[in-house]
Copies of this chain bind each other. A is one copy, B any other.
């Protein structure tokens, strides 16, 4: 079987980059993978895990002959990084990313990318509490959605090849408008994380009730602490880059909380059951 790409450069060899490389190597989608990162330990680990074949800490060196460049760094640095690499990639090279927000990244890159280099914005809906190359696993994407956000400027052939790559590692690929992507994920992903962070920080504020207060937590709180243990830098970038949608989600959340709070203040038991039933009904419908 001919590999889908001969020479692939992966910038950022963490959970997502490492898992994608590992899965693609295993499926023979990539012939030769070079890892590019600043942290040499991660690169060495990437070789150990069979995710990459070689590595370099020099950005442009790794780009020689690259048919595909996968940018798997935190969202906040993706646009600048692509700006830096574009002059150094071969003619016809495809660049893709795995950032959790899409509008700012895709718009940013399309602002400067030349006609002979192709960019496809991507967001694999995978991830787990643990981050970093040590948590990389070739089955990370199996059965999970991967959103690609083509625009009117997108090259159909490049899109098809990136779509095939994600499908071959097990993803269910969906195409979506970049702005709609950011709106949806503000609601179903960014808001829950910010709420979880706020909840855990509130519990920390209440530790004066009793020093060992957390020893009394049961199922509910443990689920939240898991979510709130996500990577702070990743969530800083998402919060900064999807600001308007996140603030809109927060205001919907505050309205919902206000409804419940008012019912508690007023001792309105019917209203409380009504509000709590809504959530339960949704869960059952899932």
Contacts and interface: CB of A to CB of B under 8 A. Distances in A.
A216 B185 contact: yes
A216 B180 CA distance: 12
Contact of A250 (B127, B201, B247, B261): B261
A283 B197 CA distance: 11
Interface in A264-283: 264-265, 267, 269, 272-273, 275-280, 282-283
Interface in A230-247: 230-233, 235-236, 239-240, 243, 246-247
Interface string A192-218: 111111111111111001100111111
B216 A145 contact: yes
Q: Quick one: copies of this chain in the complex? A: 2
A187 interface: yes
Given A209-B184, A286-B214, A279 B195 contact: no
A204 to B, nearest CB: 6
Contacts of A230: 276, 280
A219 B128 contact: yes
A278 B275 CA distance: 31
